[in-house]
Amino acid sequence: MSCFRQPLPSMVAEYDHIFVAQVKSATLLDDKRGIEATFEVETVLKGNPQEVSRIRSPFNDQNYKAEGPKIALIQPDLAPGMHLLVFAKGRGPAEFSGCSPTTRVQQQDDGQIAAVRQLLKGSASTSNSNAQ
Protein backbone atom coordinates (compact mmCIF):
# COMPACT_ATOMS: atom_id res chain seq x y z
CA MET A 1 0.00 0.00 0.00
CA SER A 2 1.22 3.44 -0.87
CA CYS A 3 -0.13 6.83 0.09
CA PHE A 4 0.82 10.47 0.05
CA ARG A 5 0.57 12.45 3.29
CA GLN A 6 -0.03 16.17 2.83
CA PRO A 7 2.49 18.65 4.23
CA LEU A 8 1.60 19.75 7.76
CA PRO A 9 0.74 23.38 6.81
CA SER A 10 -1.83 22.08 4.28
CA MET A 11 -3.39 19.75 6.86
CA VAL A 12 -3.60 22.50 9.49
CA ALA A 13 -5.38 24.75 6.99
CA GLU A 14 -7.70 22.04 5.63
CA TYR A 15 -9.04 20.36 8.78
CA ASP A 16 -11.75 21.88 10.99
CA HIS A 17 -10.68 20.23 14.23
CA ILE A 18 -7.19 19.39 15.47
CA PHE A 19 -6.70 17.99 18.96
CA VAL A 20 -4.85 15.50 21.14
CA ALA A 21 -7.07 12.70 22.42
CA GLN A 22 -6.75 9.54 24.47
CA VAL A 23 -8.70 6.53 23.21
CA LYS A 24 -11.12 5.34 25.92
CA SER A 25 -12.80 2.38 24.20
CA ALA A 26 -12.38 0.60 20.88
CA THR A 27 -14.92 -1.76 19.33
CA LEU A 28 -14.65 -4.00 16.29
CA LEU A 29 -17.58 -3.13 14.01
CA ASP A 30 -20.14 -5.81 13.19
CA ASP A 31 -18.96 -6.06 9.58
CA LYS A 32 -15.40 -6.75 10.86
CA ARG A 33 -14.02 -4.04 8.55
CA GLY A 34 -13.27 -1.34 11.06
CA ILE A 35 -12.69 -0.34 14.65
CA GLU A 36 -14.57 2.60 16.16
CA ALA A 37 -13.24 4.35 19.23
CA THR A 38 -14.53 6.79 21.78
CA PHE A 39 -12.04 9.28 23.14
CA GLU A 40 -11.34 11.95 25.71
CA VAL A 41 -9.94 15.25 24.48
CA GLU A 42 -6.71 16.23 26.21
CA THR A 43 -5.66 19.34 24.27
CA VAL A 44 -7.59 21.44 21.77
CA LEU A 45 -5.41 22.95 19.07
CA LYS A 46 -8.10 24.05 16.60
CA GLY A 47 -11.87 23.88 16.28
CA ASN A 48 -14.40 22.11 18.47
CA PRO A 49 -13.53 18.43 19.05
CA GLN A 50 -16.91 17.85 20.74
CA GLU A 51 -18.42 17.92 17.24
CA VAL A 52 -16.43 14.81 16.26
CA SER A 53 -18.38 11.68 17.08
CA ARG A 54 -15.75 8.95 16.91
CA ILE A 55 -12.38 7.88 15.61
CA ARG A 56 -12.44 5.07 13.06
CA SER A 57 -9.67 2.77 11.87
CA PRO A 58 -9.85 0.13 9.13
CA PHE A 59 -9.47 -3.46 10.28
CA ASN A 60 -8.49 -6.01 7.68
CA ASP A 61 -8.19 -9.55 8.84
CA GLN A 62 -8.56 -12.13 6.12
CA ASN A 63 -8.65 -14.95 8.68
CA TYR A 64 -11.48 -13.67 10.86
CA LYS A 65 -13.92 -16.38 9.76
CA ALA A 66 -11.37 -19.12 10.45
CA GLU A 67 -9.99 -17.66 13.68
CA GLY A 68 -13.16 -16.18 15.13
CA PRO A 69 -12.79 -14.90 18.71
CA LYS A 70 -9.04 -15.62 18.72
CA ILE A 71 -8.67 -12.41 16.75
CA ALA A 72 -8.91 -10.58 20.10
CA LEU A 73 -5.33 -11.71 20.76
CA ILE A 74 -4.02 -9.55 17.89
CA GLN A 75 -2.96 -6.00 18.81
CA PRO A 76 -5.37 -3.66 16.99
CA ASP A 77 -4.33 -0.45 15.28
CA LEU A 78 -6.64 1.54 17.56
CA ALA A 79 -6.71 0.59 21.24
CA PRO A 80 -7.69 2.09 24.61
CA GLY A 81 -4.94 4.17 26.16
CA MET A 82 -3.44 5.34 22.87
CA HIS A 83 -2.78 9.06 22.47
CA LEU A 84 -3.54 10.53 19.06
CA LEU A 85 -3.03 13.84 17.31
CA VAL A 86 -6.41 13.96 15.58
CA PHE A 87 -7.27 15.83 12.37
CA ALA A 88 -11.02 15.81 11.61
CA LYS A 89 -13.50 17.48 9.29
CA GLY A 90 -17.07 18.35 10.23
CA ARG A 91 -18.71 15.88 12.57
CA GLY A 92 -16.31 13.04 11.76
CA PRO A 93 -15.59 10.34 12.34
CA ALA A 94 -11.89 11.10 12.30
CA GLU A 95 -9.91 8.51 10.36
CA PHE A 96 -6.83 6.79 11.80
CA SER A 97 -4.76 4.69 9.39
CA GLY A 98 -1.36 4.57 7.78
CA CYS A 99 -2.46 7.16 5.23
CA SER A 100 -4.58 9.46 7.40
CA PRO A 101 -3.36 12.73 8.91
CA THR A 102 -4.30 11.49 12.39
CA THR A 103 -1.19 10.05 14.03
CA ARG A 104 -0.21 8.33 17.24
CA VAL A 105 1.78 10.48 19.67
CA GLN A 106 3.99 9.23 22.46
CA GLN A 107 4.34 12.36 24.57
CA GLN A 108 2.13 15.33 25.39
CA ASP A 109 4.65 17.79 23.90
CA ASP A 110 5.50 15.82 20.78
CA GLY A 111 7.36 17.71 18.05
CA GLN A 112 4.42 17.41 15.67
CA ILE A 113 2.08 19.02 18.22
CA ALA A 114 4.55 21.88 18.66
CA ALA A 115 4.71 22.31 14.86
CA VAL A 116 0.90 22.50 14.64
CA ARG A 117 0.83 25.10 17.41
CA GLN A 118 3.46 27.17 15.59
CA LEU A 119 1.52 27.02 12.32
CA LEU A 120 -1.71 28.04 14.05
CA LYS A 121 0.06 30.90 15.80
CA GLY A 122 1.46 32.05 12.46
CA SER A 123 -1.94 31.93 10.76
CA ALA A 124 -3.51 33.90 13.63
CA SER A 125 -0.81 36.58 13.27
CA THR A 126 -1.37 36.75 9.53
CA SER A 127 -5.15 37.02 10.01
CA ASN A 128 -4.74 39.82 12.54
CA SER A 129 -2.36 41.82 10.31
CA ASN A 130 -4.65 41.35 7.30
CA ALA A 131 -7.60 42.67 9.28
CA GLN A 132 -5.81 45.93 10.07
Q: Hey, where are the domains in the chain?
A: 8-125
For the segment 66-97, what is each residue's pLDDT rounded down to a tens digit?
A: 555 544 444 457 889 999 999 999 998 999 98
Q: What is this structure's pTM?
A: 0.76
**Whether the predicted pLDDT of 110 surpasses 90:** no
Fold of 8-125: OB fold (Dihydrolipoamide Acetyltransferase, E2P) (2.40.50)
Which has more confidence, 10 or 34?
A: 10
Q: How far apart are CA 95 and CA 51, in angstroms?
A: 14
What share of the chain has pLDDT > 70, as a percent? 75
Q: How far apart are the first and last CA of the chain?
A: 47
Decide the pairing of beta strands 94-95 and 55-58: parallel
